[in-house]
Amino acid sequence: MRDYTVIKNTLGTLRVHENEPLSKHTYFRIGGPAKLFFEAKSTEDLKLALTCAFENKIPFVVLGLGANVLVSDKGYDGLVIKNHAEGIKLVGLKGTINKTGRGIKNASVLAASGTLMNQLARFTIDQGLEGLHFLLSVPGTIGGGIKINAHFEVEKGEFIGNCLLTAALFDVNSGIVKTVDQDYFKFGYDYSKIQETGEIVLEAVFRLDRTVDPQKLWQMAMDNVKRRNEEQPMGIACSGCVFRNIADSDAKRLATPNLTTSSGYIIESLGLKGVKQGGAEISTHHANFILNTAGASASDVLKLINLAKQKAKETYSLNLSEEIFYIGDFENIRE
Ligand SMILES: Cc1cc2nc3c(=O)[nH]c(=O)nc-3n(C[C@H](O)[C@H](O)[C@H](O)COP(=O)(O)OP(=O)(O)OC[C@H]3O[C@@H](n4cnc5c(N)ncnc54)[C@H](O)[C@@H]3O)c2cc1C
């Protein structure tokens, strides 16, 4: 039995909840209880919770908006830190700055890691800054977004990591906070180095160019929202795309239509659209989405994930890999 008193004493007995159902904090509406649950309302709060867990060797996990996770039915045996550390500010302007701001060439924007990507998109578009407009209506926080390198149109290079200048990270091995630059993350499609290191993003600074046409920026962002609403299932609990897209080399090998790398296409071609397991269903609208249509468990979702992986392997010699992250103990995740 672990002694959690120190966590309560440090973070406040009234602010640390026991056995909080994580289903309340995930887009899937799935997940058992967190042994301890704490909502960090500022970057200082977040740092304090991380340091306390680190120093007392208590397992912890940071949850953003829960838009890209599958939490075990058994929950999490440790401290779950829900990141509500929000805040955005302009920290640097470059160019010849006059009263109208017309001479500004670019600006640096600092965001706390629990800031919603949607909020950051709105802020930057309102400021006439280009580069993160595609995040409008993408669910999740800056921290979760940096971990997966959140994106919209991959071909257009619309990745959150492209505009990142620096970030403050909590190192889970040393308990030290360090500032790193964009190169550190080795960003790629659905990839950043912190997936390997487990480091936690505390704050991030983005450098964005001033746009000549702010109205066009809003238009582009709204067009993306419209497309997303047409292409994705709406109003049903889910965690977005479950699988990463396949490699270009696999698309060529399989001669997919227009060499699409869409995992949705692969799953659809395997005849899995609409397949159900318990309360979970592979979406008939977009096959890379698994929906919680009727009180699904994590184990229901996992069975569908394993089924898609098994069929893709047998039929196409293809290894599908998850975009979502698992939290808590799972048995039988298929390789
Ligand atoms: C309907 C729907 C549509 C979506 N559409 C898109 C889309 O168009 N483009 C896209 O890229 N994604 C999309 N997603 C996926 C999701 O929006 C992103 O993956 C987002 O980045 C998740 O952020 P989050 O804060 O919810 O992370 P969470 O789901 O809370 O966490 C994801 C992972 O990040 C870790 N994490 C959270 N915060 C931090 C932190 N501060 N530091 C380090 N690690 C952290 C967690 O521990 C976990 O491992 C969609 C999801 C849904 C539900």
pTM listed for this prediction: 0.96
Residue range 200-226: average pLDDT?
93
Where along the chain do its domains lie?
5-83, 88-227, 233-327
Residue range 7-14: average pLDDT?
94
Residue range 275-286: average pLDDT?
97
- Residue list, ligand 1 pocket, CB within 6 Å: 27, 61-69, 83, 113, 138-141, 143-145, 147-148, 150-152, 194, 200-201, 232, 238-240, 325
Q: Which atom of ligand 1 is nearest to the CA of 61?
A: 47
* CATH architecture of the domain formed by 88-227: 2-Layer Sandwich (3.30)
Count of CA atoms in the C-beta half-sphere (13 A) of 321: 5
- The band of 155, judged by pLDDT with boundaries at 50, 70 and 90, is confident
Identify the residue whose C-alpha is closest to ligand 1 atom 6.
138
Closest CA to 111 of 166, 170, 179, 189: 166
The answer to whether residues 30 and 239 touch, using CB atoms and an 8 Å cutoff, is no
pLDDT computed for residue 138 by the predictor = 95
CATH for the stretch 233-327: 3.90.78.10
pLDDT computed for residue 170 by the predictor = 98
pLDDT computed for residue 332 by the predictor = 85
Strand partners, 200: 170
Of the listed ranges 8-22, 86-100, 283-297, the least confidently predicted one is 86-100
- The band of 169, judged by pLDDT with boundaries at 50, 70 and 90, is very high
The answer to whether residues 241 and 264 touch, using CB atoms and an 8 Å cutoff, is yes
Q: How far is the CA of 283 from the centre of ligand 1 (A)?
A: 20
pLDDT tens-digit series, residues 21-32 = 999 999 999 999
pLDDT computed for residue 44 by the predictor = 97
Q: What does the alpha-carbon distance between residue 298 and residue 57 come to, in Å, rounded to a whole number?
A: 27
* CATH architecture of the domain formed by 5-83: 2-Layer Sandwich (3.30)
pLDDT tens-digit series, residues 112-122 = 999 999 999 99
pLDDT tens-digit series, residues 59-103 = 999 999 999 999 999 999 999 999 999 999 998 887 766 665 566
Q: How far is the CA of 279 from the centre of ligand 1 (A)?
A: 23
The answer to whether residues 161 and 193 touch, using CB atoms and an 8 Å cutoff, is no
Kindly list the catalytic residues: 241, 323
